[in-house]
Structures are given as C-alpha cells and as structure tokens.
Structure 1
C-alpha cells in the first residue's frame, strides 16, 4: 500500500522485483496527499499494475478488512513516516496470522536520518538502495534499538529505464538524423525553497530555449497545481512561470509544462536537469547527460549531498548554454548502480516469511510508543480515517481559532 505518488511509484516497481511465484495486491491509502487518477496512472506506468484497473484508493478500515480477507504473508507499507507508524502499530495491530511488515524509502536517502527509522521501527525489514545507505541505516537502527533489519534493493526505476548509446554532453545534433531533442527539468517540491531561486531556474531554462530553438524544453511536474504530492510545494513552477510571463521576463511558450510518467519523458530526452530528484538516477540509467544544479548549495538540506564526486554537479550558467555531464564510473558503482545480484532484500524477505509461518515473529515493537507519542498517533489515525476534504476543513477551522485566540492575546 502507498499513500502518495512517489511511494506508489516505488511500491509498484519494487513489487515487480519479486519472484514469479509471488502474488501481490496494490492499494492506495486515502490521506490528504492521495494521488489523483492521473498521478496513479503515471506512477504504475511500465509495471505489472499498469492495467485497465488501476490500484484502488482505500481508507484505513478498508485496508484492515482487505488484509483480513487476503491473509498476506507480507504487508509492504510504502508510506510517509507517520502513516507507516499508525498502520503497522494500530490499524494492523493483532492481524492473524502475523504478517511480515516491510517499509522503505522511495529514492535518494543520503544522509540517513533517525526520523526515518523511528517511524518504521515496527517493521521487520527496511529496504534501501545503495551500500552506503545500508551501512548508515544499519548503524542508526542499532543505536536506536530497532529490531528490524536493513536490506538492499536496486531502485526499481533504474531497471525500467531504456538505455541508449551514450549521448554527447554538449547538445550537438546531426542534420541527417532526428535524435531526441527534449531537455527535461525535473521539479522537486522541497528544494529550492525560495521563490527567487525557483525563478532563476525558469529564467535559465528560458535562456536555453532562446539560444536553442531546436530544443523542446520541458518542466516535468510531479503534480499539477490542483494535485497533491508527498511534500507541499509552496511556489509551484507553473504559477511562477505565468507571473514571469506577465512581467515580460520570459516569452510565453518558451518552455512547456507536462506531467505524466518520467520514463516516457526520458525516452525522448537529449538532456536532463534537476536540483535534487531521484529521476536523476533514472536519467543516468538511460545514459541521458545531466546536470544537478549546485547554485543553491550542496548539502543534506538540499537533498543533493550524494552527488558530490559524481561529476554531475553544475550551474545555471552551464544549463543556459547546454553543458551537461555523464557521472563518474566509480560514483555509479558506489551509489545505486550496484550489480542486481548483490541485492538481498528478496532473500531476507523470504527468510522472514518462513519465520512468520512457523510463529517465529514476535509482536510488533514500534520505536515510537507510549503516552508521549499517543497524540501524534491519533493525528496520524485521523489522516487515514477521515475523508481528506473533511480533514482540510477541520485544519482550516483550527487555524482560524488559533489566530483568533492569538489576536485576543
């Protein structure tokens, strides 16, 4: 089960890595960040769930009934932290037979954080995607006293990518051929945070489009303005672009905005750019030259620290002149592009299933428990139980009451 577009994409791809004899059912948890039907279709694109019957959106009690009916060996909780905690520790509490609980993170997870483990402390298996991530999360889990283990998987998007012969880093095309001519900018909801930083990216993309009218410059959106995503996006790029057009800073139509499946955009891409996005790894897998913008810093806060020493970091100035990169081979091997044979998550999962079937798994022991966490878990329970529209009305009413009380002094 998944609760957002990014987790749904990860879950669908991860389930595709299971052995042929395993069967799986995928559902979307109804929360305030539930993906739209368009986002659901894009997330499962190219997986076994890409059918005429997309995954259903189900509330928490419906998930419990589904689990009681299926009696699964494994429950994959591909959700944001608080939702993982409340589903494993509350909604699925007392399931019989006791399933193996698996969770993980849907993309780049360097540096590893305690918070990610704390919410997933009740899970038996924590799936990550590089040797470095395994080492860091295993260390943190041991320090926190987590009973679950860490396992390695290939990021599922990487094996879905259609690799082409390596393209030139400079955007130079032969007049006798018709190669891909799309430059894809992948947005990230969390970074950069400041409005002017986001505007500077749009200006650089407009500069590239003006200098190279032969290019199709595309801003690939994670969500339309009317859609929700894993993290809130205060300054939506499409809205900022309209405002820049109104002030005359850019030419209307110089770049275009599109949603849909990233793999389909990359299939037509001559180059790729982002500030921080797991899609950069998809571009690398497809041998698409890229830039990871460093103008706003290279740090844990910018979620791009992992790209140090990759030789893919670059600037807005380099973007505007169409100067893209291929990653260093040593960096690829150390970060996400390990041999699939090294991945051990399926082996570890199968061992846990055998243990569960013989009654060898004890009760779930979350790291976040007791009176100190009770209020937070109640709030998380509301997120998975109450219809999102009703919950948003409650949030707005609560904010108005707090503002009123503050005004009274």
Structure 2
C-alpha cells in the first residue's frame, strides 16, 4: 500500500492513523517488506521506498518484488532525501528492510535528526539458521527484530541478551508462503539460484549439467533456471559466477545442448504454479515450494552446513543429490520439521502485537534509548558503508579503479 503524505497538522500534533515508512535496498528485502505491510493492523497506512545504492533493483525487479502484495509502487530515492521524507511523512514506524550496513547507516540518519523518534523495525527476509551475531550488530538500535520461526526467535533472543541490546525479537510467518493457484499443466522443474552459494565456478557448472541431463532424460519436463537477476542487474548479494553466463560457456564448449534449459526471472510464485518439481542449493524459495506442495530437492552435494546456508534443512526429508535431480527424484518434506521451521500456526505470530505496543510507547515518549553497538569492522568500515549509500556512483568508480589495479598487478 502506498499513500501520499497527509495534510499538515497543528504543530506538535500526531495523526490518529499509524504511519509506516518502509525502506528497502534490494529486490529480496523489498519483497519481504511489501508482504509484511500487508499484515499491518487495520487502518494503518504505509509508504514504501527503495534507497538508492549499488544494489538498487531495476524497474522489472521492483515490479516482480511487489507482485502479489498490496503495495502498488516503491519510489527510488537517494539517501540524502531521507530527512525530507521523514519530515514530510512523519512516520510512527520506520521498517528498515535492508542489508545490515545500510540498516546501520540509515539508523544513524534517523536518530541524528533529534526530537521524538519513530519505532525502528528491522529483520531478515529469509532463512536465518543458525542465528548470526553480526545481523544483530548492524541492527542493534532496532526496537523490533523480525524473524520467522520458533527456532530463530529463540536463537536471536539469546544473542540479544548476550550483546545487551534492548530490542524485542518478533515472530512472523514468512510472508510470501501463500502460493498462486496451480496451473492445469505442471511440467517445469524450477531451479532457484542463490547468489552466495555454491561459490565455486565448477560446482555451479555441475548443477547446470545435471539440469541439462534431466532435460535429455525427461523430455516431458522443462528445466527452468529461475534467476534473481539477469547478468547485468544488481541483487542483494554479489554473484561471482552468474548461471546465465556459465550456461553460455557450456553450450559454446559443446558440453550442453542449446535450448535444453530456459532462463527466466519474475515472481517465484508464478513459476511454482507451473512446477512439477523444484530444486535449489540454498534458497528461501524452497519454503515457497513446500507451501505450494511442489516436490523438491535441496542439494547436499556441496555440503550441509552454515556456510552453505542449508543447515536448517537437516531432518526435513528434502535433501538430495545431483544424481537425484537427473532422475527427477523429488521429495516431500517431513511435517514435524515443517511445524518447527517456518510453517508454525499463524496464531503464534506476535510481531504486530509487539509493534502496536511499541507505537503506543512512542506516542507517550516512553521508548527506551536505543543501543548502537560498535560497527563490525570499525569506524573505517562504517564510513565506507555510508559513502556507498550516499555516493554510490563515486563508490562504483573507486571499485572499478581498484579492480583495474589488481588486474594490472596480476598481469
């Protein structure tokens, strides 16, 4: 939902309607924010914006991220305009749906304005097992930290207690687990890519070759590589070896048949509505597949551990291998695992109740003083993060110069 700034109120007055300003910096965080806003209490209003940075999503990515939500649009604005937006909109709540360094930088801008402050909300848009202390360090000033399972709430609450931060950890069912209606023809095998894992070029080529082998063995199935972004688009995390480019290499080498795989973007829920099977190395989209009752595989060939971001799938019954993929041997998850991990009863969700209480505190001036812990990496890293946000074009030039110097030294 997107609303225009309201009419002016008398000095010192607060509107009766609770206003939420949602700020995102990437497509995945924007999708998460838009879906969370759909669950706000009745009568609350929201405004959504993407803060310009080196990972700003394209117009197509923004449309895909908002697909299926009630948020109609998200303006893209530079960080230097944030103070003006805050002054115009006067939000009761600011949802910082951004990567950690951006959350920390925006927090500094918001708290540096002086006067009554809004409730600060942040969180993580997907699977967050095992819980990370680093995630809390960037978000230590948050009044409410949103995660998505009983296990995550317990782990992040324990970390908060150890760090001495005052924020509450709230639970929300992952907001994009409502599937699109299935189509009559379900003939796709959807591979959900992940920018961070696997890292090695050779491992990614193995995945593509397994999908190509599936295409040859099962002409009734159409493997679709569902990309988070095309090779020339930005995404939340940097992708060193893009699948689209690796596939072109394999075809040029004669290792795979051109046309065996289809590459596409767009909303995952639409792809799953056509899917007969789903596969990933590590992606929150696996949970979307479970919700859509699509048999799946979470590949274990490259390890099952925190580094691969797939540790949570131990005991799920969904782990499998590239050989299973070639044979189209997909799995149905264990129901007890589902109940403990992301598919809890919606009545267990408590984030909106926590948020309502915090808004009431804010309106009486009773919000606690936020705790801002030392920046991971120190003051120099904090300055660099702020420059990336406030002068992304300059940082891109600096990065390009550094890369050129590195190449020259290696030559």
Matches within 5 A, 1:17-36: 17-36=39-58
Hey, what's the Cα distance between the residues in 2 that align with 1:244 and 1:207? 13
1:375 aligned residue: 380
Q: Distance in 2 between matches of 1:291 and 1:401?
A: 42
Q: State the partner residue of 1:79.
A: 98
- Output the CA distance in 2 between the equivalents of 1:98 and 1:70: 13
2:160 aligned partner: 141
Partner of 1:152: 171
In 1, Cα distance between equivalents of 2:137 and 2:148: 19
Q: What residue number does 1:97 align with?
A: 116
Alignment partners' CA distance in 1, 2:36 and 2:388: 25
Pick 1 or 2: higher relative contact order, CA cutoff 8 A, min separation 6: 1
| Aligned residues of 1:163 and 1:287 also touching (Cα < 8 A) | no
Question: Pick from 251, 260, 263: which aligns with 1:254?
Answer: 260
CA-to-aligned-CA distance 1:166-213 (integer Å, 9 cap, x gap): xxxxxxxxxxx9531111000000101111111111111001111111
Pair 361,369 (structure 1): closer, same or farther in 2 beyond 3 Å? farther
Quote the offset at 1:90 in angstroms: 3.2
Q: List per-residue Cα deviations over 1:305-362 (Å, max 9, x = no partner).
A: 0000000000000100111011001000000000111100000000000001000013
Q: Deviations over 1:150-176 (max 9, x none)?
A: 110010011x31366xxxxxxxxxxxx
Deviation, 1:64, is 1.8
Work out which of the residue numbers 29, 32, 50 in structure 2 matches 1:7: 29
Could you say if the C-alpha distance between residues 241 and 399 of structure 1 is closer, same or farther in structure 2, counting changes exceeding 3 Å?
Answer: closer
Distance 2:334 2:113 in 1: 49
Q: Which runs of 5+ in 2 are unaligned?
A: 1-22
For the Cα contact (< 8 Å) 1:89–1:366, is it kept in 2? Answer: no
Look up the match of 1:269: 275
Mapped to 2, the partners of 1:144 and 1:268 lie a distance apart of 45
Kept in 2, the 8 Å contact 1:105–1:127? The answer is yes
Native 8 Å contact 2:193 2:283 kept in 1: yes
How far 1:379 moved relative to its partner?
1.2
Cα deviation, residue 95, structure 1: 4.7
Q: What's the counterpart of residue 122 of structure 1?
A: 141
Deviation for aligned residue 1:62: 1.1
Aligned residue runs from structure 1 range 223-262, under 5 A: 223-262=229-268
Which segment is superposed worse, 207-216 or 98-107? 207-216
Query: 2:394: which partner in 1?
Result: 390
Q: Give the TM-score normalised by the residue count of structure 1.
A: 0.91
Task: List per-residue Cα deviations over 1:16-43 (Å, max 9, x = no partner).
Answer: 1112211000100100011111111111
Deviation at 1:94, TM superposition (A): 3.0
Distance 1:97 1:395, change over 3 A: same
Distance 1:290 1:401 in 2: 44
For 1:122 and 1:272, locate their aligned partners in 2 and report how far apart those are by CA, in whole Å. 38
- Rounded to whole Å, the distance in 2 between the matches of 1:294 and 1:394 is 38
Aligned pair 1:290/2:302, yes or no? Answer: no
Distance 1:285 1:163, change over 3 A: farther
Partner of 1:174: none
CA–CA distance in structure 2, aligned partners of residues 373 and 92 of structure 1? 19
> Against the structure 1 CA distance between its residues 335 and 195, is the aligned structure 2 distance closer, same or farther, given a 3 Å change threshold?
same
- Structure 1 position 398, deviation (Å): 4.2
How many pairs are equivalent?
388
Q: CA deviation at 1:60?
A: 1.0
Q: Cα distance 1:38–1:26, how it changes in 2: closer, same or farther (>3 A)? A: same
User: Structure 1 residues 369 and 241 mapped into 2: Cα distance closer, same or farther (>3 Å)?
Assistant: closer
TM-score, scaled to structure 2:
0.91
Would you say 1:41 and 2:63 are equivalent positions?
yes
Give 1:96 shift. Answer: 3.5
